[in-house]
Structure formats: structure tokens, C-alpha cells
Amino acid sequence: MNLISLYVIDEYLLTRIAHKKYFSNDSEFELLGDFSTAEECLINMEKRPSDIVITDIELPEMNGIEATKLIKEKFPKTKVIINTSHRNEQRILASLAVGASGYVLKNDRSADLKKIIKMVMHGEFWMDLEVAHLAFSTIPTPNIKDLENLYENKKLKNMLTKRELEVLKLLIDGKTNSQIASEIIVSTNTAKAHVGSIFAKLAVTDRVQAAVKAVRAKLF
């Protein structure tokens, strides 16, 4: 039976020692090395890639999310598991976005890291319920009454700045550039620039198309 090879990246020596002890007496795993920085791990990966990399997010130099992205780009067969104490939803989503196969909280006593590694090796993804709730809490509320436009209104609204939304509302009301400029107290050229930016972001070529798209997406 082939051993599951792994590297550990963690700034704290005691954590690395704990990982060594955890894996040392298990005939299914081979801990190839442990490092305080991602850079050290990447150097060793060039010599001998591993099946698994377990990494924290906050590291002395390159952070764990950046390291995960580089590892997945250079060694696509290697699975990365984030092992951290951070519950920040943005860090969770960023980790998933760059290719992490798991997000495990250090203080989760119910998390069996060896079992999680085996699951990940079989192509599964793992995160505990707390992490999942944090990640899914950032998903926007869909427009459930329109299956063809579930998120288009959210997407369009997020593309526009607060000022551009203000200008778009005036544009829908039929205001000219000079009237828009007067309403928001800017120069006509600035108002014209805002309108041009709105056209570009909405992928339209005139005021009518912009107004129709905004109304259909229920931006206001």
C-alpha cells in the first residue's frame, strides 16, 4: 500500500511537533517535512511533491492562501488542507477559491485530520458545519421568482458604485447630462463620464438600453 505523503506548514514549533507526533506512528502516512514558512515548503516540493500539504493561513512571509494558489498551479495533483484558527468568512471563501480541498479549525476536537486527509485523497471536500455556515452566509439572496434572473440584479448592482447608481436613477428618469450634473452638483463632463462608465459596466450603448436593463433587473 502506498503511503500518503504530506508536508506541514505552520509558524508555531509546538504545532509542528504535535503534527509530527500525530503522524509518526501511523503506517498509512509519511510526513516528509514541516516548515515555518511556505517558501521552504515550496522549495522542497520542487524536489519531492507530496500528496497533501497542511497549512495555516497566517505565516511569517507568504500567507497560506497565496501558498495554496501557487501549490495548485505548480503541483495540481497535490491536495491542500487549510488548518487554522481563523473563522473569517472572507478567508474561508478565498481559500476555497484558490483550490483548497478542506478547511479545518485547529480547535475542532471532533475533526479527525487523518480521516479528512483520506476523504480529500478520494476527491472529496471537507469543512465543518461552523465553517460552512460562515461561508454560505456570504451568498446573496436570489430573486427566487425569476429562474432566468436569480442573481443578475445582485450582480449588476454590485458592479456599479453608489454614485453610478444615483446617476442611473436620474438617467431612467429621463435627465440629460447637464440636468444630472445639476442634480448631483458636478460638472457636465463628470456626469458624462459617469454615464459612459454605466454604459460600459451594463454592456449597453445608449440610455434606453441602460434604462431597460436596470428596470428588468429591478435595481431600484
> Could you tell me the pLDDT band of residue 5, with boundaries at 50, 70 and 90?
very high
Using the structure block, give the residue that is written with the C-alpha cell 507526533: 21
Q: Which domain holds residue 42?
A: 4-136
Alpha helices in the chain (DSSP H): 13-24, 38-47, 64-74, 89-97, 113-121, 129-136, 152-159, 162-172, 177-184, 188-202, 207-216
Mark whether 123 and 152 lie in a shared domain.
no
Last residue of a domain, one of 136, 157, 186: 136
Per-residue model confidence (pLDDT) at position 129:
80
All three cell numbers of 179, joined, read 440636468
Q: State phi, psi for 158 to the nearest 5 degrees.
A: -70, -25
In tens, the pLDDT along 55-88 reads: 999 999 999 999 999 999 999 999 999 999 988 8
Residue 34 β-bridge partners: 8
State the burial class of residue 205 (Cβ atoms within 10 Å of its Cβ: 0-12, 13-18, 19+): exposed
Whether 58 and 106 share a structural domain: yes
Residues 10 and 101 both lie in one domain: yes
- Tell whether pTM > 0.75: no
pLDDT at 16 over 90: yes
Does 141 map to a domain?
no
CATH number at residue 208: 1.10.10.10
Phi, psi dihedrals of residue 78, rounded to the nearest 5°: -80, 135
- pLDDT tens readout for residues 120-140: 999 999 988 888 887 777 666
Output 95-98 pairs: Cβ under 8 A, ≥24 positions apart: 95/57, 95/64, 95/65, 95/68, 96/135, 98/65, 98/66, 98/68, 98/69, 98/72
Q: Report the candidate in 202, 122, 196 with the shortest Cα–Cα distance to residue 157.
A: 202
Answer yes or no: do 129 and 209 share one domain.
Answer: no
The pLDDT value recorded for residue 219 is 74
Q: How many domains does the chain have?
A: 2
* Phi, psi of 164, deg, nearest 5: -65, -35
